Amino acid sequence: MTDKRAAVLDAAIELLGREGLRGLTHRGVDAVAGAPAGSTSNYFRTRRALLEGVLDRLVERDRSDIAALGGGNLPRTEDELVDVLAGYVMFATGPDALRTRARFALFVEATASPSLRRSVQRRRDELQGMGLTVLAALGSADPAGGSRILADHLDGMILHRLTSENADSDPRDDLRRLVRALR
């Protein structure tokens, strides 16, 4: 991905996280990116293409963040997995809350758009594949089912932390119980 295209997508994510889907326009993205008018349209002709680009960029950044949280390696033990998951929850609801709000805005929009729902699911499947790999290596009896449960729980935990006033507790204990149950 070119630096300019990534900057446009990062601006779209910022705008989406701040203003929601209604605020996401090509012109608005150009303004946030500090790019000349029409720049976003050069990369993404339609709103749908822009949303697809945002989804891809979110997954790309998630992969990078997860790798960084795991020191570049997939977790090899339950404790390492719990630490990576807790780190991700804390990051997603703290320093990266804007991007998380953008992601959830897309999730909500996908409930009304079957084609966007399929796009979200394709990207979710990719991320769940990482969970499947880790859970299989840890000896899970059902790594595919466990990966889905883990992803669903993380989404719920993150949403709760973003929307609750008393959501500043360390998620490790809950995640540890979940990971043990998934073995």
- For residue 74, what pLDDT is reported? 82
Residue 152 makes CB contacts below 8 A (sequence gap 6+) with: none
State pLDDT tens for residues 98-132.
999 999 999 998 999 898 888 889 888 888 888 89
- For residue 1, what pLDDT is reported? 61
Distances (CA, A) of 9 to 4, 36, 63: 9, 15, 16
Entry pTM: 0.86
Burial zone of 136 (CB within 10 Å; 0-12 exposed, 13-18 middle, 19+ buried): middle
Q: Which domains does the chain have, with CATH numbers?
A: 1-45 (1.10.10), 51-182 (1.10.357.10)
| ∠ CA 103-110-62, rounded to 5° | 25
Q: Which residues of the chain have pLDDT under 50?
A: none
CB 150 within 8 A of CB 135: yes
CB 151 within 8 A of CB 128: yes
